[in-house]
A and B are shown apart, each in its own frame.
Chain A
Amino acid sequence: MLKLAYVALAIAMGAGLAPAVAAAAGEAAATVNPAGEKLYKSACIACHSTGVANAPKLGNKEAWAPLIAQGMDAMMQVAIQGKGAMPPRGASSADDATLRAAIEYMVQSSQ
Chain B
Amino acid sequence: AQDTLKISEGQRFYQKVCAKCHEAGTGPVILGRGLPEIAITTIARHGNNAMPAFRLSDIDDATLQDLAAYVSKSPAPKKP
Query: Do chains A and B stick together as partners?
Result: no
Point out residues on A near B: beta carbons under 8 Å: none
Point out residues on B near A: beta carbons under 8 Å: none
